Amino acid sequence: MNQDIVVEQLYKNYEYFEGASGFRGLARNFIKRDIKIKNAVKNLSFTMNKGEMVGFIGKNGSGKTTTMKMLTGILTPTSGRILIGGNIPIKRSDDFKKKIGLVMGQKSQLWWDLPAKESFDLNRIIYEINKDEYQKNLNKLVEILGVKSVLNIPVRKLSLGERMKLELIASLIHGPEYIFLDEPTIGLDVCAQFDLREFIKEMNKERNITVLITSHNMKDIEDLCKRSIILSNGELVFDGDTSNILDIYPYQQVNIQFEEITDLALLMCYGEIKIKSNTEINIKIEKNKFSNFLSILLNNHKVNNFYLEPLDIEACVRYYYFKDQDEHG
């Protein structure tokens, strides 16, 4: 596969100063400022293949959005190298701008007081799209997302779910090869989230669009991305199969249904127990203790049924953050 996105040793630093308090401190600030440097992104390197969908995971302040803005040419890197389909984003060439689409869940590109159709028409002119091609793309996108009835309603009067669907159309109307999605499902209800994810899958499959997506909604990542990248304090701490994030987590939740709960003392040393009813419990066990736990359970209790609960990827990612912080002091 072709490495269509290349990021090498990327840094983004911000300078700031800490001002002393009080009148003397204010006077001293005029003479000499104590300059500090914040590393928003540190030595970040990764590649993406054409048509790949990758999850970009991290806490607030981990460097996700800063990286997205550098990849799309909004911010200039302090140092490092970025290539998107052979283009250097910060040069903002016309060829590059026509190849990318950006959706930011908390920032709109649609004109608030105008119908979305007006914004789409403006994009057609900006991107110099042939009228026939534009109408064909628009009709297809509108049909897939089911928003024909709201095209001529002012954006400010639409629901959040409707606006986000229209934001996606605005980013895809020019047929980009790369889509950068920053929290695209933020604030949406479950049905709207599902619709957007299905739409992204269809566009990726049909057009082979390369997609990088950040989201605090881990269902977005699980459902869309076979591969995930985790950032912590601006640094890459994980790059691999999304399913492998689950392997990092050292615990397993087990639900047990007893014929009758008698004595749980033997089980308590294996983990945190939550009693769900007089015949059912849930226990959080370290994976390396599971075989011993199972032996004690079956030899000393009458068990009707038990099952392993699916691991919560969000809990696994939270654990990874704390693990990384512990290892780095």
- Condensed to tens digits (0 to 9), the pLDDT of residues 131-188 reads 998 998 899 888 888 899 999 999 999 988 888 889 889 988 888 999 999 888 877 7
- Model pTM score: 0.77
Task: Identify the domain containing residue 218 by its residue range.
Answer: 3-241
Whether residue 301 is contained in a domain is answered as yes
Whether residue 46 is contained in a domain is answered as yes
Strands 100-104 and 178-182: parallel
131 and 269 co-located in one domain: no
What confidence category does residue 26 fall into, taking pLDDT thresholds of 50, 70 and 90? Answer: low
CA 140 to chain centre: 26
Whether residue 315 is contained in a domain is answered as no
15 and 95 co-located in one domain: yes
User: What CATH number should be reported for the domain holding residue 284?
Assistant: 3.30.70.980
Map tokens 């389909």 to a residue: 85
Q: Which residue has the higher pLDDT, 256 or 61?
A: 256
166 and 295 co-located in one domain: no
Mean pLDDT computed over 49-75: 92
What pLDDT is attached to residue 225?
A: 94
Mean pLDDT computed over 259-274: 82
Whether residue 326 is contained in a domain is answered as no
Whether residue 156 is contained in a domain is answered as yes
Whether residue 324 is contained in a domain is answered as no
* Assigned token pair, 4: 């269509």
Residues in the chain: 329
Tell which of 181, 215, 241 closes a domain: 241
150 and 75 co-located in one domain: yes
At residue 33, does pLDDT exceed 50? Answer: yes
Tell which of 192, 218, 241 closes a domain: 241
Specify the number of domains making up the chain: 2
User: Which among 122, 316, 157 is positioned nearest to 230, based on CA atoms?
Assistant: 316
140 and 277 co-located in one domain: no
Whether residue 99 is contained in a domain is answered as yes
At residue 325, does pLDDT exceed 70? Answer: no
54 and 213 in contact (C-beta within 8 Å)? yes
140 and 194 co-located in one domain: yes
Whether residue 222 is contained in a domain is answered as yes
Helix count and strand count (H, E) for the chain: 12, 13
Q: Residue 269 burial (CB < 10 Å; 0-12/13-18/19+)?
A: exposed
50 and 87 co-located in one domain: yes
Tell which of 222, 241, 260 closes a domain: 241
State the CB neighbour count (10 A cutoff) for residue 299: 8
216 and 169 co-located in one domain: yes
At residue 329, does pLDDT exceed 60? Answer: no
Alpha-carbon dihedral 87, 88, 90, 93, rounded to 10 degrees: -30
129 and 146 co-located in one domain: yes
User: What CATH number should be reported for the domain holding residue 121?
Assistant: 3.40.50.300
260 and 280 co-located in one domain: yes
What pLDDT is attached to residue 328?
A: 47
At residue 295, does pLDDT exceed 60? Answer: yes
120 and 207 co-located in one domain: yes
206 and 285 co-located in one domain: no
SS3 283: strand
What pLDDT is attached to residue 207?
A: 87
Q: Which residue has the higher pLDDT, 195 or 70?
A: 70
